[in-house]
Chains A and B, each alone.
Chain A
Amino acid sequence: MLSADTKPRRTSGVRADSGLLNALHALQAEHGYVPRQEAMALSRRLGVPLARIFEVLTFYSYFRLEEPGRITLSVCDGTSCHLQEGPVLLKAIQALLGIGAGEATPDGAYQLNVVRCLGCCSCSPVLMVDDKIYSQVDPADLPGILKKHPPTAPKEAN
């Protein structure tokens, strides 16, 4: 959760709105996405209109409004990876998991995303699993990589 010392909307010229992106990141880190109820609570806490919060949530590709799979596979689609087998890697993962980009496996274990350049252009193609980066990934490496990230149990609903 966000720390309690959230500032009111205006304090000596520096507005707490600057905390909006970081606050949304914190919510997403906690829940894996930004639930509507949490967005509403944040709106009340920061005094930022709910409409503004949703404008921001839907503008930035990083934020999610729905619960993602528990382990995120991000395939880099930077120029270098695009030129050097990135699309092949993506197709292989899609075939392996049976899902498309932006989707989660039915059991909620894996989430597949295509992401912007991860900045490892000299090691293409690149795959990131949660925050671990794998470079020069050959489709044959995939089972081994997935084995290092076995499916976790879903969180207990509370």
Chain B
Amino acid sequence: MIQLTVNGFEVQVPEGSTILEAAKAAEIKIPTLCKHPDLPPTAACGLCVVKVEGMPDLVRACSTPAQPGMQVETHDPEIVNVRRTLLELILSAHPNECLTCGRHGACELQELAKDFGIREEHFPSLRRELPRDDSTGCITLDPRKCIKCGRCLEMCQEQQDVWALSFMERGLNTRIAPAGDISLAESPCVHCGQCSAHCPVGAILEFDQTEAVWEALRDPTRHCVAQIAPSVRVSLGEAFGYEPGANLAGQLYHALRRMGFDTVFDTNFGADVTIMEEASELAERIRSAPEKLPLITTCCPSWVDFMEKFHADMIDHFSTCKSPHAILGTLTKTYYAEKEGIDPDSIFMVSIMPCTAKKYEITREASMYASGGQDVDISLTTRELTRMIRQTGIALENLNCLELPDSPLGEYSGAGVIFGVSGGVMESALRSAHYFLTGEDRAELEFEELRGLDGIKELTVNLGGHDLRVAVAHGLGHVEQVLERVRQAKLKGEPMPYDFIEVMACPGGCIGGGGQSWNVSNAVREQRAAGLLKEDRVQEVRTSYANPWIQQLYRDFLGEPLSEKARHLLHTRYQPRPEYLR
């Protein structure tokens, strides 16, 4: 431990801490626009400068290591004055359109301008016009608003290894854009939206589709159905003052009904179906097609996109099973429509997702129209739903926390719940695969080793005499490492290092999704994960195959897992996309 003083207060911090962290330990908040808890400092904004006794110049708190005996001053009038001037400079190059900005009220720059009481523009405007990029239909890039903090690049290039975004040119002309000013849709972008989740301002936002949803809700001929993803329920509350991880499933169902949805389902049920199919696929490959191992999960659309663009040699290893929300969309417009006698074409299916890539997924391939029409009409992010709830004037805290989703696609098992957290799909699949391989329930349902935020988690599990080597990777940068091991083994003709691999593009899985509430950090991810794991523990049914509604679905409609009907409705295909150059 290192001992130092910040503004006269003695603090102790672990070796390797920065001054910023030391100040935090002393309950002192140093302003910054570029440092994000997930990322190494880019040292771009300069707002965090502090004085250190004995040093001639001010230093950046975000990137200066704390030293024993250091005496740090963080807020004397001179420092505050410098910070205010710097903010004025940043504002002189930032559009003055807060009222019409998607980040209004949740913008880190706006917050600081407010705190510093900036009332006047002393510097003339250096704002410039640059075109907006909506080409992906998932993410809106507005480079005019960019303050060049570099967070999105750190995410896109270093953490996710996607390299869609880059800084072009230099000086005041520096701007974020895909390589050589192509559109984002032509770039390697896999729509994960981590850039938007880490942007401090409104330069990168989710592509807003709330208006189309309102339109459908206003249309009396439409039967509007909503489904909510597992991870949305533990993150949405943050925008309404709840702690991260607070499970608001009941309030959410209630709110969606208040907004005018005719039916409210739960994506968790779709997750149970996914497990039925995927675990059966795993059992089948173990028994009769071991050359197609490892099996790799495909619930994550960014990951699917990433694989098709840059790892197409892995296509044979992919589970062909669709993701839970796509399955629920198909089943709503087939099974449910048939059962209730509703014209599938009149159904308007909206999925509420933690994710910007789901907007891409719903039209990515012909199988996304398995019901005859588009299976999911619109996919909204958590942040868009937050706005819709506010527009409706609903006070979440007054809603019924015990509200339930509709049948027959609403009741879910604990296995469906944990899909929202890294390791959850694997854990759920292992619970069911054991049953499919042995015909018996597994006594031990939890796999502690597969939980938590380590980038790559590995485990060997014995399922009915088979020693199954599994890996869980989240954050695309980690995925590369796992795939490389598989690829090397193939090249050298060695045994495969794994039999089953779960991949989620976003750090932490869907709870850390690119469409989730802002201000994510590992602490927040842990709280959100805890919220989901807690719900799994209290569920009476914790395995997908034991969910009576699942059993009914297969009995009445699908037949067996991997039946012809199931393959037609619930599975998809992949194709290499070599035209994208990373």
Contact = CB atoms under 8 A, between A and B. Distances in A.
Given A36-B180, A39-B180, A65-B180, A50 B168 contact: no
B170 A52 contact: no
B170 A50 contact: no
A55 B164 CA distance: 12
Contacts of B164: 51
Contacts of A62: none
A107 to B, nearest CB: 27
B169 interface: yes
Contacts of B179: 49-51, 53-55
A52 B163 CA distance: 8
B167 interface: yes
Contacts of A53: 179
Interface string A1-41: 00000000000000000000000000000000000100110
Interface residues of B, number: 16
B166 interface: yes
A79 interface: no
A51 B157 contact: yes
A54 B180 contact: yes
B581 A54 contact: no
A39 B164 CA distance: 16
A135 interface: no
Interface string B170-181: 100000001110
A58 B168 contact: yes
A55 B581 contact: no
Contacts of A44: 581
B582 A55 contact: no
B170 A51 contact: no
Interface size class of A (residues with CB under 8 A): 10 to 19
Nearest to A50: B179
B252 interface: no
A43 B582 CA distance: 8
B165 interface: yes
A51 B169 contact: no
- Chain A facing B: main interface SS: helix
B166 A52 contact: yes
Interface in A42-77: 43-44, 49-55, 57-59, 65
Contacts of B188: 50-51
Interface string B384-419: 000000000000000000000000000000000000
B163 A49 contact: yes
B544 to A, nearest CB: 40
Nearest to A57: B180
Nearest to B166: A51
Contacts of A54: 166, 168, 179-180
B170 A59 contact: yes
Contacts of B165: 51
B167 A50 contact: no
A44 B581 CA distance: 8
Nearest to A44: B581
A59 B173 CA distance: 10
Contacts of B178: 51
Contacts of A40: 581
A54 B166 CA distance: 8
A40 B180 CA distance: 11
Given A50-B179, A52-B163, 19 more contacts: A36-B180, A49-B582, A50-B163, A50-B180, A50-B581, A51-B165, A51-B166, A51-B178, A51-B188, A52-B166, A54-B166, A54-B179, A54-B180, A55-B167, A55-B179, A59-B167, A59-B169, A59-B170, A65-B180
Interface of A: 36, 39-40, 43-44, 49-55, 57-59, 65
28 contacts: A36-B180, A39-B180, A43-B581, A49-B163, A49-B179, A49-B582, A50-B163, A50-B179, A50-B188, A50-B581, A50-B582, A51-B163, A51-B164, A51-B166, A51-B179, A51-B187, A51-B582, A52-B157, A52-B163, A54-B168, A54-B179, A54-B180, A55-B168, A57-B180, A58-B168, A59-B167, A59-B170, A65-B180
